[in-house]
Amino acid sequence: MSRKVKNTKTNTKKFGCLQDSESEDEGTQVGKNSSITNATLAKLETDSQAAKSTLETVSKDIKSIRDTMVVHTKKIEHLEKRAEKTEATQSRHNAEIIHLKNEVLQLKNAGNLSFAIISGVNIQKLAGKDVIISSIQGVLSLTGLTAADVEDASTFNLGKEVAIKCKFRNPGLVGRLLKNAYHLKGSNFRVQPDLSPDQRAVRKHLLSFAKDLCTNKPDYSFQMKSWRYLMVKSGMREMYYESDGVLLAKIPKDAVVRTKKPDNITAPPPQLLGSQASSSKGPQAASQRGP
């Protein structure tokens, strides 16, 4: 056999061995890759289960938090309602306390109800009663009063001017003077009730509140109903307040404005009144109704 043929056979065997060796290497590599892949898949599966478990735990925690928030929200709503009731009760108590304080204050100063102060009058401090009455004649006529309604009058220093303190025959005449004071608008005259220092503090507190409330509100206006009562008006709405000089309370309208008697109720006839005056044990007169 020639050398050439032998070499060919030898090379063929070597090539076959080389192919077998490469096949074995490839098989080994595939096996290794498969093991790695399986391990990776197993790890991913484990991680996925762990993530799923964590998600379930988080979901439970979120549900627990939501339930807790619902419970707390209900508690807060309950507390807010209780606070509103407490605040309303406190406001009502404050209003009652303020009202009682002012009732006591009014009783203590009941003697001043027949007095009023008139300022803006050009008069000397040492002027006599006749001169004083003459100097306020314009005020009296504009407010529906006469000199006969004034029981006494004197002068005193009010700040830098001389004012007049008038004693009227009854508190109703002072009420008429104050009620009709709007007729004095445009003049130098000013009228005010004769108040004690505590009463003036109450009035000042109400005026300060009213001015602050109505600032920059064109549709708001206010009116002092008395030294202790204030009315604030906004459009058709009326709000009433009472103060003790420190605290302020919102009050109903009927606490300030007395209800007017029905027009169909008339007074008993004079002769019946006379019979009642002569005997306190006589028959009680029934009110008569009009037509």
The H or E element containing residue 71 is: helix 3-108
Question: What's the CA gap between 213 and 153, in Å, rounded?
Answer: 38
pLDDT at 154: 94
User: pLDDT tens digits, residue range 249-277?
Assistant: 999 998 886 644 444 444 444 443 343 33
| Higher local confidence (pLDDT), 1 or 218 | 218
Which CATH homologous superfamily contains domain 112-194?
Answer: L1 transposable element, RRM domain (3.30.70.1820)
Give the pLDDT of residue 284: 39
Spatial separation of the C-alpha atoms in residues 221 and 240, rounded to whole Å: 12
Domain map of the chain by residue range? Answer: 112-194
Q: What is the pLDDT of residue 266?
A: 43
Confidence (pTM): 0.55
Identify the CA nearest to 214 among candidates 206, 204, 225.
206
Name the one residue in this structure whose structure tokens are 């056979």.
9
- Strands 220-224 and 229-234 come out as antiparallel
**pLDDT classification of 19: cutoffs 50, 70, 90:** low
What is the overall mean pLDDT for the chain? 79
Cβ(155)–Cβ(163) under 8 Å? yes
